[in-house]
Amino acid sequence: MNIRGLFPSFEDAAQFHGHVCPGLAIGYRVGTTAMQLLGVERPRDEELVAVVENDTCAVDAIQVVTSCTFGKGNLIFKDYGKGGFSFFSRDKGKGIRLRYRDFPSLSGDDGARMEQLKSKIHFERCATEAERAEYDGLRQRLIHKILTCKIDELLDWLPLTEEPPAPARIRPSVVCDHCGEHVMETRIKTLDGRNFCIPCAEHANK
Ligand SMILES: [Zn+2]
Ligand SMILES: [Zn+2]
């Protein structure tokens, strides 16, 4: 799936992530929808910022689609365990927050069967090979459903009025007086006039 060539494909996201799963599909829809709603292209640098509130499979698809990545500093993780994703366009001065409606599932008997098989596989650990294959088939259908459903069945969104997070800064590094490794200046702890990295400072305090 490749939305008019504007975004990396879902297969690109799967390549990065290592497997295909419902969470990856959700992240793909979140990333593409956010960019369409903001009317932005993939950033070369930090023109677009993503603030994610969970560290699930979805975030890997968001990194591939939006080019808001951990290394570039325009992917900010807040460990709230929430199904919420905020995006800010610095160029356009606009922000948007997308949220899961309900966690998507197959409807009717298929949904119930999937839950039953999931429990047998992951919790009771008593599934047969045939049951695992049946589960995989249902999971593929769920992934397809997530990728093709009307977006407002999956997500809702609201505009943000707050300012985007400050851009990442390159900081000088300092050598830790204990382990001799390089440390970002802002992370140095000073004890009795000596510079320590965080783990060495914690160790020295024990
Ligand atoms: Zn996954
Ligand atoms: Zn150290």
pLDDT tier at 23 (50, 70, 90 boundaries)?
A: very high
Q: Nearest bound ligand to CA 139?
A: 1
pLDDT tier at 1 (50, 70, 90 boundaries)?
A: very low
* Distance from the alpha carbon of residue 49 to the mean position of ligand 2, in angstroms: 31
Domain boundaries along the sequence of the chain: 10-104+149-160, 107-137, 173-204
For domain 10-104+149-160, give the CATH superfamily: Tubulin/FtsZ, C-terminal domain (3.30.1330.20)
CB 46 within 8 A of CB 170: no
* Distance from the alpha carbon of residue 47 to the mean position of ligand 2, in angstroms: 34
Residue 181 has, within 13 A of its CA and on its CB side, a CA count of 10
The two domains 10-104+149-160 and 173-204 share their CATH topology (first three levels equal)? no
Q: What is the pLDDT of residues 26-63, one digit of tens each?
A: 999 999 999 999 999 888 888 999 999 999 999 999 99
Longest dimension (CA), the chain: 67
CB 31 within 8 A of CB 60: no
The token pair at 173 is 């590094």
* Distance from the alpha carbon of residue 172 to the mean position of ligand 2, in angstroms: 16
pLDDT tier at 2 (50, 70, 90 boundaries)?
A: low
Q: Nearest bound ligand to CA 178?
A: 2
Does the domain formed by 173-204 have CATH 2.60.120?
no
Q: Nearest bound ligand to CA 188?
A: 2
